[in-house]
Amino acid sequence: MNNQLYSNLIFELSRPGRMGSSLPKNDFPRHEMPVSLLREHAAELPECDEPTVVRHYTNHSGNNFGVDNGFYPLGSCTMKYNPKINDEIAGMRDFQNIHPLQPESTVQGSLTVTTMLRKILANLTGMDDFTLKPCAGAHGELTGLMIIRSYHESRQDTKRTKVIVPDSAHGTNPASAAVCGLEVVEVKSKDDGTVDLEDLATKLDDTVAAMMMTNPNTLGLFEHDIVRIVEMVHRCGGLMYYDGANLNPLLGVCRPGDMGFDVVHVNLHKTFSTPHGGGGPGSGPVGVRGPLSQFFPTVNPYHGNFLVELRALVYILTLGRENIKQVGPLATLNATYIKERLKDLYELPITALSKHEFVFNGLADKSTGVTTMDVAKRLLDFGFHAPTIYFPLLFHEAMMIEPTENESLETIDAFISVMRQIAQEAQEQPEQVKSAPHNTPIKRVDDVLAARQPILKFPESSTEMV
């Protein structure tokens, strides 16, 4: 556990004159800086000795939860383990120290990396070409929609301003369409969680630019009508956009290109194991069919997040052509196993066969008053990251679980047994669950207050030099 002495702010640990570094004597001639470039006040930097700095940051790093600490079943996010060999290779000096404006003759190795990755992604998704520039899934969505818009404009078909998005879609889909200046039209899901074709038919006309879908969808369900859907949208002149955040369960089984999608993005930081969280760096390459590659926009002046791309390539090559085919089936097996072992205690609103992730609607017994939020908080006490909660919005107490393919049976069994224990606690001592977490450095936070009155910096007094 953390030593309180070294916690809080580094500024609070500061004492005038303390030093953790010693610089060599400066024997360069002194140059006067223009006054306009000088600070008016000395920078307020903490002054600390080296052990204090090391302990402060080491203790804080221990407060983080990451996929290297424990199981992370965060549905929709594909939080898979990041193999260390990826980082080892991304850490090689020759890769790390390149600059995007270096002469081409000096970066041939790196260009080979990006070319190989583009070809492999095209192969895995059934597309013809990829751009690696987008730096996140949402960035890929915007890029893909810009491609689609340029395609329609190139044919003088400028009345196509609508993008159809299922009601189960990830929030970035409608957001990207809106940012691209397109109008979002929602299509309903049927009770079984898949797209309602009758509702879709009423939305299709010559103003539709595209339909965005992910398959398996956000409930983890394979859209069995996908070929019909693609036909319907193509017949009215729209293009099909594949949100590749759920590509994981397809690896080795099928490809969006074969389902008829025209444009796809892939989240390298999900499907291809590069680290994510905290907002980046990510990578959302976009693939297209045939002549659409002429519409690749410049969404980024250079080559995208190169070291993320390199990690993804290492991951793919480490698995190899045969093993990568196991990813989808194993991710599906792990998720299905958890679902089957917990569905007596947690409400399973959709019982159809699911793929890499599935959704519970809270505890089966609602009489205890224990909510999904409480269960999520209690899991932290046992060293498990919470699943995605209150998303998708189709159920009030949604709890979306995605174990990924690379967890051992022991880890998955331990998670199941904790989930069962929490369900039992909800019956026998609900307060224990409702007041969780008990073992974490920060206890239950007031989400509502935090949203209404966000205090995003420490109060002045605590940052004053002591």
Which CB, 107 or 169, lies closer to ligand PLP? 169
Interface residue with ligand PLP among 120, 195, 245, 307 (CB under 6 A) is: 245
Token duo for residue 159: 């009345």
User: Site mask, ligand PLP, residues 156-185, x = CB under 6 A?
Assistant: --------------x-x-------------
What is d(CA 211, CA 163) in angstroms, rounded to the nearest whole number?
Answer: 5
| 104-113 LR contacts (CB < 8 Å, sep 24+) | 110/306, 110/310, 113/306, 113/309, 113/310, 113/313
Strand ranges inside 38-182, DSSP E: 129-131, 162-166
Q: In the window 51-90, what residues touch ligand PLP (CB under 6 A)?
A: 76-77
The yes or no reply on residue 136 touching ligand PLP (CB under 6 A) is yes
Smallest distance, ligand PLP to C-beta of residue 77, A: 6
C-alpha closest to that of 234 among 195, 265, 263: 263
Smallest distance, ligand PLP to C-beta of residue 138, A: 3
Interface residue with ligand PLP among 129, 223, 243, 397 (CB under 6 A) is: 243
How many CB atoms are located within 10 Å of the residue 219 CB? 24
| Dihedral sign, Cα of residue 144, residue 145, residue 151, residue 153 | negative
Smallest distance, ligand PLP to C-beta of residue 214, A: 5
Which CB, 371 or 388, lies closer to ligand PLP? 388
Is residue 289 helix, strand or coil? coil
Smallest distance, ligand PLP to C-beta of residue 136, A: 4
Which CB, 212 or 419, lies closer to ligand PLP? 212
C-beta nearest to ligand PLP: residue: 137
CA dihedral 61, 65, 67, 72 (to 10 degrees): 180
Smallest distance, ligand PLP to C-beta of residue 278, A: 11
Interface residue with ligand PLP among 46, 73, 134, 137 (CB under 6 A) is: 137
Q: Which residues contact 235 (CB under 8 A, 6 or more apart)?
A: 204
Which CB, 52 or 246, lies closer to ligand PLP? 246
Burial class (CB in 10 A: 0-12, 13-18, 19+), 247: buried
Place of tokens 């017949």: 235
Only one of the segments 118-126, 132-140, 142-150, 228-236 lies at the binding site for ligand PLP (rule: CB under 6 A); that segment is 132-140
Q: Give how many residues touch ligand PLP by CB under 6 A.
A: 15
Smallest distance, ligand PLP to C-beta of residue 388, A: 9
Paired residues of 195 in beta bridges: 189
Which CB, 92 or 393, lies closer to ligand PLP? 393
Residue 463 half-sphere exposure, CB side, CA atoms within 13 Å? 7
Smallest distance, ligand PLP to C-beta of residue 170, A: 3
User: Site mask, ligand PLP, residues 257-276, x = CB under 6 A?
Assistant: ----------x---------
Q: Name the strands in the sheet holding 398-401, side by side, starting at the edge strand that comes first in the sequence.
A: 358-361, 398-401, 388-389
Smallest distance, ligand PLP to C-beta of residue 245, A: 3
Is residue 265 helix, strand or coil? strand
The yes or no reply on residue 133 touching ligand PLP (CB under 6 A) is no
Tell me the three-class secondary structure of 33-44, residue by residue. CCHHHCCCCCCC
Only one of the segments 136-144, 193-201, 321-329, 357-365 lies at the binding site for ligand PLP (rule: CB under 6 A); that segment is 136-144
Which CB, 243 or 374, lies closer to ligand PLP? 243
How far are the Cα atoms of 194, 222, 340, 344 from residue 348, in angstroms, in the given order? Answer: 16, 17, 10, 9
Only one of the segments 34-42, 134-142, 193-201, 414-422 lies at the binding site for ligand PLP (rule: CB under 6 A); that segment is 134-142
First-to-final CA distance of the chain: 26
Q: In the window 179-238, what residues touch ligand PLP (CB under 6 A)?
A: 214, 218
Residue 24 half-sphere exposure, CB side, CA atoms within 13 Å? 2
Only one of the segments 242-250, 298-306, 340-348, 398-406 lies at the binding site for ligand PLP (rule: CB under 6 A); that segment is 242-250
Contacts with ligand PLP by CB under 6 A lie at 76-77, 136-138, 170, 172, 214, 218, 243, 245-246, 267, 282, 284
